[in-house]
Amino acid sequence: MKSASSSIIYSLEGSLTKLLLVSGQLVIHSSIACLSAVIRLSKNTQLVRDVFVRYHSIVIQCQQKILEKPDEEFKGSAQLARSIYILGVLCKYFDVEKSEFDDLEFSVDDLFQLFIFFIQRRESVVKLKSLVGLGFFLQRYGQYLVRDTVRQLYHNYLLDRRPTAAQLRCQVLINLEEYFRDCIRRMAEQDIDYLHLTQTANPTTNEDENSNDGTGPTGVNLKDTTDVHSEMASSIAQCYLRVVLDTYLSEDETIRQCVRKVVTCILEQGLVHPVQFIPYLIAMTTDRDINIQQSAEQNLQDLDKTNPGIIQTKVMHGLKMSYQLQKLLAVTSQNKTNTQQTHVPNEIIRGMTKVAVTPTNSQQSPYCSVNHFLYSLIRSSRVYRRALISQLLKMFDNDTTTTTSTTLGEQLFVADNLAYFPYQVQDEPLYLIEQIDLTVSVSGSTQLQQFRDLLKQYLDYTDDDEGIDLSRLEEKFLQLSDAVVDELNQCLRTSKSTMLLLILKSYLKDVYGLNDTKITEYDHTESSKITDRPIMSRKMNVKFEPKLILDTIKPSAHMDGHQRRKQILKDFQDFKRYLLAFDNDAEENVKSISELLPSATTSTTGGTPSLTGKSKKKSGGTTKRRKVLIESDDDSADGDFQP
């Protein structure tokens, strides 16, 4: 281009301006970008002024017609949309505030008011193109982004959850993304202009080449110019970051992709502290869109390298947000299914997913944890992975005194993750089992005693560890009011988290081949050389399917008042037997879950479960630790599971 003749440049300028009349928006954008490069060489700013005046006049004429007849439908929407789009692109590549454009009859603020005027129009095409044009305008004049007019406009669009506003929400996100991406281009462009002016003013210099004088091209003036733009971009990022991140939890995949791009731009430039991104990045790693997932994984890896330990500070918030995202995606899938079926039951949110690629060997499970990447990122640190497990198990503490208690559905989501995390060394499942034992030993007896107190209060029934007089208890139970039954059911529902942990423990023992001796001898205070031995084998055909919990979250059939009361008694009996097995000392007999819960040994006449199974004696030992042998109650525990 620098060696091109003036005739070629003149011909090129004419061709580029003609393309604006008939081409689509992609060609228009490229033509103006090329025209800006040509004008840099030819210095033919008069051509740019003429183009500005032409399309500004068209937009002004349309505005006057609308103001004259505001109630009538405007018929020139297509021409108006094209003109205002061109006006926006011109503002992106040419600075109207420069001295070359002093003779223009309109100012930057006049252009801004034009965009705002047409954005408020009812016509969807005009509104959208005006928003696109405003985005180009703001790339050049970013100071308007922190003004209340634009900030309120963008916030209103981003917070609008209606499906009809999805396109406008996406365009706002695209505008923000393009602004942050264009920051680098604009700073480089101004650096070139500054160097050119400096070289023109001082063609020769006798200063030392290594001089760090602030008056030179690389001195303080250039640095200050760059700092101003960086500070402006940082202020804008802080102004819009919260509402942009909250927009991510959307059913629309396109909106989530736009949010991901904005987040990536801000992180790449380091405009704000990265800690506030972590929960959303963790949720993004569980997204069904592979591009969002891979981008978030890369961002988390980069943050972990540059800021070791920063992910751990927001890991719980990230897991909760992952659950919210999966719940939202499940509702979206259900709505699509409802268009074909008249009734579809609510889907239970699970914390595991099918492996995208079919397993090629027996050592690869057909399922994996939804948050498997998060765990694989921190599992190399013994301290971080143990802290994560301890934090996750705290979610099973149903403290009624707090307002932030975790629902059973969220606890199932966490249990699925704990079951399918990619454990590599024996210390990982052993430490998890040890913490489960500690949690159950504290919460289980408390939950059982609370239910016993209610039985004594309302039924004058004193329960003990010997057994349950079902006939006597059921007769009194059927006479209780619905309010009392609801209170008993709510008290018993808190025990489901304890039962879920015991089922999870049984699953881990089965999959990783951990017997009671290994669990008893495990000491988490030992050195990593002893506990971090690799896991040599695991069962791949066992699926974590806690049926008791699934039936509680989503009952298979509707129950009347009589059946509901019987189910509460049955749940109490099952929970009591779980804890009796758990509370048996090491020297006592421990019964398996097939003997403790209704299964194949249950009588077909509807009576109480048969407890005729053989007891299993434990090997001798002096440890005071309590043990329980609980087998998984899922349908695939016999090894016949097929993915």
Q: Side chain identity at 42, as an amino acid letter?
A: S
- Whole-number Cα distances in Å, 586 to 125, 338, 442, 464: 75, 53, 18, 21
pLDDT > 60? residue 67: yes
pLDDT band at 392 (very low <50, low <70, confident <90, very high): very high
Contact 282, 243 (CB under 8 A): no
Q: Tokens for 251, please give them.
A: 């059913």
Burial-class residue 541 by CB neighbours within 10 Å (0-12, 13-18, 19+).
middle
pLDDT > 50? residue 629: no
Polymer length in residues for the chain: 643
Per-residue model confidence (pLDDT) at position 609: 38
pLDDT tens string 177-210: 999 998 877 777 666 666 666 655 555 444 444 4
pLDDT tens string 497-508: 999 999 999 899
Min mean pLDDT across 111-120, 297-306, 359-368, 604-613 is at 604-613
Q: 3-state SS of 567-636?
A: HHHHHHHHHHHHHHHHHCCCCCCECCHHHHCCCCCCCCCCCCCCCCCCCECCCCCCCCCCCCCCCCCCCC
Per-residue model confidence (pLDDT) at position 123: 85
Return the higher-pLDDT residue of 604 and 491.
491
Per-residue model confidence (pLDDT) at position 557: 62
Look at residue 97 and give its three-state secondary structure.
coil
* CA–CA gap between residue 303 and residue 297 (Å, rounded): 10
- Whole-number Cα distances in Å, 233 to 97, 140, 175, 221, 237: 20, 12, 13, 19, 6
Per-residue model confidence (pLDDT) at position 364: 64
pLDDT band at 217 (very low <50, low <70, confident <90, very high): very low
Domain ranges of the chain: 1-141, 147-197+224-272, 396-594
The separation between the first and the last C-alpha atoms of the chain, rounded to the nearest angstrom, is 62
Look at residue 369 and give its three-state secondary structure.
strand
* CA–CA gap between residue 613 and residue 615 (Å, rounded): 6
Q: Tokens for 76, please give them.
A: 């020139």
Per-residue model confidence (pLDDT) at position 518: 87
**Chain position carrying tokens 């005739």:** 7
Helices 495-512 & 427-459 angle (0-180, nearest 10): 150
pLDDT tens string 339-369: 555 444 568 899 998 876 555 555 567 889 9
The mean pLDDT value for 169-174 works out to 96
Contact 363, 345 (CB under 8 A): no
Per-residue model confidence (pLDDT) at position 569: 80
Min mean pLDDT across 40-49, 53-62, 551-560 is at 551-560
Contact 412, 549 (CB under 8 A): yes
pLDDT tens string 225-278: 555 667 889 999 999 999 999 999 999 999 999 999 999 999 998 899 999 999
The mean pLDDT value for 317-328 works out to 94
Per-residue model confidence (pLDDT) at position 100: 86
pLDDT band at 94 (very low <50, low <70, confident <90, very high): very high
pLDDT > 60? residue 634: no
Q: Tokens for 626, please give them.
A: 């309590």
Per-residue model confidence (pLDDT) at position 643: 37
pLDDT tens string 110-149: 999 999 999 998 888 999 999 999 999 999 999 999 999 9
Q: Tokens for 293, please give them.
A: 């997932």
- Whole-number Cα distances in Å, 284 to 106, 260, 299, 325, 583: 45, 8, 10, 9, 42
Q: 3-state SS of 18-83?
A: HHHHHCCHHHHHHHHHHHHHHHHHHCCHHHHHHHHHHHHHHHHHHHHHHHHCCCCCCCCHHHHHHH
Per-residue model confidence (pLDDT) at position 449: 82
* CA–CA gap between residue 471 and residue 464 (Å, rounded): 16
Q: Tokens for 74, please give them.
A: 């405007």
Helices 220-247 & 166-201 angle (0-180, nearest 10): 180
H helix or E strand, kind and range, residue 352: strand 352-354
pLDDT > 50? residue 641: no
Q: What are phi and psi of 463, to 5 degrees?
A: -95, 150
Min mean pLDDT across 1-15, 56-70, 398-412, 438-452 is at 398-412
pLDDT > 50? residue 57: yes
Per-residue model confidence (pLDDT) at position 486: 84
Model-wide pTM > 0.85: no
Q: Mean of the per-residue pLDDT values for the chain? A: 80
**Chain position carrying tokens 């003990």:** 464
Per-residue model confidence (pLDDT) at position 201: 57
CB atoms within 10 A of CB 376: 15
Burial-class residue 342 by CB neighbours within 10 Å (0-12, 13-18, 19+).
exposed
Per-residue model confidence (pLDDT) at position 628: 39
pLDDT > 80? residue 545: yes
